[in-house]
Amino acid sequence: MTEVNEVNFSKGGKMAEGEGAKGRSGLIRMIVIGGVVILALAIVVGVLYWFFFMHSANQKASRAGGNEGAQTGETLQESIKNPLYVDLGSFTVNLAEGRRYARVSMKLLTTDKEAADTLTKRVAELQDIVVTVLRQKTVESLNDPNTQLDQDILKRIEKQVLPRAPNEYRKLLITEFLIQ
């Protein structure tokens, strides 16, 4: 009778001769597949990072730019190097409900010296716009994380007081915000 030798690899058994090549090629195949999987994951993470962080930042810049589109990197860098702030002051305004009020302080950032001079001369008009917009708001609308109070006010300022120059960067900064 022929005797069959079983090899139990889980208990430290050895391979028969000639099977070592299969083991090495399987190991190499596993390393290559692992490398491809890691590379694919890195690409997916890079695309997701770009989509959620870089792409959304570009969309915010284009929304802030109005109809002109996203600002160029050079214009944005210029605004960081040479910011011009027009202080609009502090406002205490009754909200639309009547029994609640908001206290807000604001500054307007611009990169155009001529626009800053004009805005400084017309601060009373700017303050009127801010008060008008704030009085129309409710507590719920101001507490909503999607509210764009700064954008609402900035659009009214650009429409009523000063049209936007093509290469100008503007942003309304809320320096104090309190609802009571």
CATH of 73-179, one of 3.30.479.30, 3.40.640.10, 3.40.50.1820, 3.40.50.720: 3.30.479.30
Look-up of token digits 């022929």: 2
How much is the average pLDDT of 52-66? 56
Residue 39 has pLDDT above 80, yes or no: yes
State how far the alpha carbon of 42 is from the alpha carbons of 29, 46, 57, 89, 166, in Å: 20, 6, 22, 48, 39
Please, are residues 65 and 111 in contact by the beta-carbon 8 Å criterion? no
Angstrom distance (rounded) from CA 112 to CA 100: 37
Q: Per residue in 113-166, pLDDT tens?
A: 888 888 888 888 889 988 888 888 888 888 887 778 888 888 888 888 776 666
Please, are residues 103 and 90 in contact by the beta-carbon 8 Å criterion? yes
CA–CA–CA angle 112, 131, 64 (5° rounding): 40
Q: Per residue in 126-140, pLDDT tens?
A: 899 888 888 888 888
pTM: 0.53
pLDDT at 37: 92
Angstrom distance (rounded) from CA 51 to CA 58: 10
pLDDT at 77: 58
Where do the structural domains in the chain lie, given as residue ranges? 18-64, 73-179
Look-up of token digits 């030798």: 5
Per DSSP, 95 falls in state -
Please, are residues 97 and 117 in contact by the beta-carbon 8 Å criterion? no
